[in-house]
């Protein structure tokens, strides 16, 4: 028995009962223990690799027959017309020896999926409804001009695919649009060790500036790209624990390609052509009697900006070998005071990353508005999670990400930006969503409406209109209007702690009726937008695109 494979099995069997029950209910799982264990393994692995909340993880899973060999699929918001997509095929064996290769047929299935799923002009054929809904949405975004950048992950608790499977990958001609990864129990075990602190020696090249300021210490210098790569080789993702742009959640994109090109064609000038790395630590020391070429000894090192650069350097050097020490990169090292460490790390990470469409939930977690919502929501008997958490999140708890989507749909009434601009919710749209007057009562009611429409969307009931698969944010907006009208409020913003229970009782009693009325509103608007026979003439791709635009809102607000 392989030691790490047995540890991972213990981890997946140790998932909390609520998560297991949610998986069984939403995926219609039976009682086959081997099948359940495979799904638990998939869930656990997606959580470790993509760092998502529980509801997001379950939403990713499309396993269930007629799935083209795709067990999970995750789509990020487009970045500069690139559409990052992760597809995962999982193979879990009951034999914990860890000596079985990922099957060659599994690789062939993934190649087949890549050829057919992401071409919007090829008929999908027989696929399960969970996968069809996601793929038609992706195809719609591809038709809008976004280019898919796909991370294909072969996941198992054994060895990598064999040489014959690799030959199939080599012959696929997908070029840089698809990157392949093998993830197994060893990969997952290494991710488990992320909480271990990193103490390291950083050899700098040439002169450096070291200065004490505001109870902190700063060092600005230059380091060989070879050393950066060796740090990643030695410590891996542990260095990126505080970095919201964890490389394991990123795809091969334009930035990676530019770094790769610079290393290949002009490595000696890499220092001038890259923004460099920002590092934080608890403390660092060096020999101040030297004139140059310092070795900086750091305690509890983290990369808060430049993780993408670091991992790309590591992968390039793995393939091409070491470069001359003339190939160097700028490094900024900040030693932060203990009492302000966490707060400073968040502020520095936000300041050095906020020009990019990254997930800033954790960096906003200590914002005054988030603290107010946490306290207010707790006072009304609910729990609010300001930071992402993989534990202690109960089914009724409210995460900041879910709150943002609900508020933008229900209160701000911009549903097209709620579902498809999530990467900007805690950046560009933050003040719009978490506006000054927003209170806990409004947030809870908005989330309850939004969760109802999301639950109906996921059920894929045959009796529901097809657009329900893509319209949860629009339906939420319309349902809120019904509630406001029946309660005789001037607007949703009139809800507060004083009338919260009355509003909630009315919502609970009438939520099905509000949903049916909202469906009718949208059906009428779609008939006006297209024609009375739109259901037989408009494809799922076109329906998906409709709910990413604002023109439908104008029809609903008439």
Any alpha helices (H) in 64-206, and if so which ranges?
A: 104-116, 129-143, 163-170, 185-192
Dihedral, CA atoms, 126, 127, 133, 135, nearest 10 degrees? -100
Alpha carbon distance 432, 68 (integer Å): 40
Kindly report the backbone phi and psi dihedral angles of residue 318, in degrees, each rounded to the nearest multiple of 5, phi listed first: -60, -35
Residue 254, pLDDT above cutoff 90: no
Contact 397/382 with Cβ under 8 angstroms? yes
pLDDT (tens digit, 9 = 90+) per residue, 440-450? 999 999 999 99
Alpha carbon distance 196, 188 (integer Å): 15
Contact 270/329 with Cβ under 8 angstroms? yes
- The predicted model scores a pTM of 0.78
pLDDT (tens digit, 9 = 90+) per residue, 72-120? 999 988 877 888 899 999 999 998 999 999 999 999 999 999 999 999 9
Lowest-pLDDT range of 50-54, 123-127, 189-193, 281-285: 189-193
- Nearest CA to 279 out of 380, 194, 189, 349 is that of 349
pLDDT (tens digit, 9 = 90+) per residue, 133-187? 999 999 999 999 999 999 999 999 999 999 999 999 999 878 778 989 999 999 8
Alpha carbon distance 188, 108 (integer Å): 24
pLDDT (tens digit, 9 = 90+) per residue, 38-62? 999 999 999 988 878 888 899 999 9
- Nearest CA to 275 out of 247, 253, 303 is that of 303
The domain locations on the chain are 3-192, 196-357, 363-556
Residue 71, pLDDT above cutoff 70: yes
Q: Which two tokens stand for residue 159?
A: 């060895």
Pairing state between β 147-156 and 82-91: parallel
pLDDT for 461 equals 80
CATH 3.40.91, applies to 3-192: yes
Contact 203/249 with Cβ under 8 angstroms? no
Q: Find the helix packing angle between 440-459 and 500-529, rounded to 10°.
A: 50
Alpha carbon distance 489, 493 (integer Å): 9
pLDDT for 247 equals 43
Contact 500/439 with Cβ under 8 angstroms? no
| Residue 339 pLDDT level (bands cut at 50, 70, 90) | low
pLDDT (tens digit, 9 = 90+) per residue, 2-31? 899 999 999 999 999 999 999 998 888 888
3-class SS of residue 97:
coil
Distance of CA 31 to the CA centre of its chain: 30
Contact 438/369 with Cβ under 8 angstroms? yes
Alpha carbon distance 164, 168 (integer Å): 7
Dihedral of alpha carbons 198, 200, 204, 208, sign: positive
Kindly report the backbone phi and psi dihedral angles of residue 468, in degrees, each rounded to the nearest multiple of 5, phi listed first: -60, -25
**What separation in angstroms does the CA of 530 have from each of 243, 468, 539?**
45, 17, 12
Q: Which two tokens stand for residue 65?
A: 């027959």
Alpha carbon distance 162, 138 (integer Å): 31
**What separation in angstroms does the CA of 100 have from each of 4, 88, 162, 417, 538?**
15, 18, 10, 45, 46
pLDDT mean over 420-430: 86
pLDDT mean over 384-411: 87
DSSP 483-500: HHHHHT-SSGGG--TTTH
**Average per-residue pLDDT for the chain:** 88
Q: What is the DSSP letter of 125?
A: -
Lowest-pLDDT range of 201-205, 326-330, 349-353: 349-353
- Nearest CA to 543 out of 142, 137, 146, 143 is that of 137
pLDDT for 483 equals 98
Q: Which residue has the tokens 């009208």?
A: 485
Alpha carbon distance 362, 350 (integer Å): 10
Residue 192, pLDDT above cutoff 90: no
Residue 355, pLDDT above cutoff 60: no
Give the DSSP H/E element, type plus range, for residue 273: helix 270-273
């Amino acid at each position: 028995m392989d030691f790490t494979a047995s540890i991972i099995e213990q981890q997946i069997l140790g998932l909390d009962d609520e998560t297991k029950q949610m998986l069984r209910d939403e995926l219609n799982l039976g009682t086959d223990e081997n099948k359940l264990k495979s799904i638990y393994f998939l869930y656990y692995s997606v959580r470790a690799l993509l760092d998502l909340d529980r509801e997001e993880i379950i939403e990713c899973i499309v396993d269930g027959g007629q799935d083209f060999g795709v067990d999970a699929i995750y789509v990020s918001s487009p970045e500069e017309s690139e559409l990052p997509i992760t597809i995962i095929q999982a193979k879990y064996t009951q034999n914990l020896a860890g000596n079985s290769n990922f099957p060659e047929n599994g690789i062939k299935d993934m190649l087949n999926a890549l050829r057919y799923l992401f071409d919007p002009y090829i008929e999908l054929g027989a696929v399960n409804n969970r996968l069809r809904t996601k793929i038609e949405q992706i195809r719609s975004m591809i038709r809008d001009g976004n280019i898919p950048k796909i991370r294909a992950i072969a996941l198992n608790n054994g060895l990598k695919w064999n040489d014959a499977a690799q030959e199939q990958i080599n012959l696929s001609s997908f070029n840089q649009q698809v990157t392949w990864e093998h993830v197994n129990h060893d990969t997952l075990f290494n991710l488990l060790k992320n909480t271990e602190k990193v103490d390291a020696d950083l050899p700098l090249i040439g002169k450096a500036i070291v200065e004490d300021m505001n109870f902190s210490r700063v060092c600005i210098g230059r380091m060989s790209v070879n050393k950066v790569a060796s740090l990643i080789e030695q410590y891996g993702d542990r260095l990126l624990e505080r970095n919201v742009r964890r490389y394991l959640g990123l795809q091969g994109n334009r930035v990676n390609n530019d770094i790769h090109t610079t290393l290949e064609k002009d490595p000696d000038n890499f220092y001038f052509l890259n923004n460099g790395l920002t590092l934080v630590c608890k403390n660092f020391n060096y020999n101040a009697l030297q004139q140059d070429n310092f070795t900086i000894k750091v305690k509890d090192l983290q990369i808060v900006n430049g993780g993408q650069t670091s991992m790309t350097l590591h992968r390039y050097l793995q393939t091409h070998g070491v470069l001359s020490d003339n190939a160097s990169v700028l490094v900024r090292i900040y030693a932060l005071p203990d009492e302000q460490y966490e707060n400073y790390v968040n502020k520095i990470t936000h300041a050095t990353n906020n020009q990019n469409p990254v997930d800033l939930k954790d960096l906003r977690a200590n914002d005054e508005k988030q603290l107010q919502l946490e306290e207010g929501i707790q006072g009304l008997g609910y729990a609010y999670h300001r930071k992402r958490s993989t534990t202690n999140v109960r089914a009724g708890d409210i995460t900041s990400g879910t709150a943002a989507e609900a508020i933008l749909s229900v209160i701000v009434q911009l549903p097209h930006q709620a579902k498809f601009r999530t990467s900007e919710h805690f950046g560009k749209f933050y003040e719009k969503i978490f506006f000054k007057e927003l209170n806990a009562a409004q947030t809870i009611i908005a989330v309850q409406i939004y969760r109802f429409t999301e639950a109906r969307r996921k059920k894929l009931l045959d009796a529901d209109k097809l657009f329900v698969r893509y319209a949860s944010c629009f339906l939420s907006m319309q349902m809120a209007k019904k509630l406001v009208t029946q309660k005789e409020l001037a607007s949703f913003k009139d809800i507060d702690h004083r009338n919260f229970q009355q509003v909630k009782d009315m919502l609970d009693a009438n939520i099905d009726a509000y949903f049916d009325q909202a469906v009718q509103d949208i059906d009428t608007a779609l008939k006006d937008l297209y024609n009375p026979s739109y259901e037989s003439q408009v494809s799922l791709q076109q329906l998906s695109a409709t709910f990413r635009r604002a023109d439908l809102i104008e029809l609903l607000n008439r």
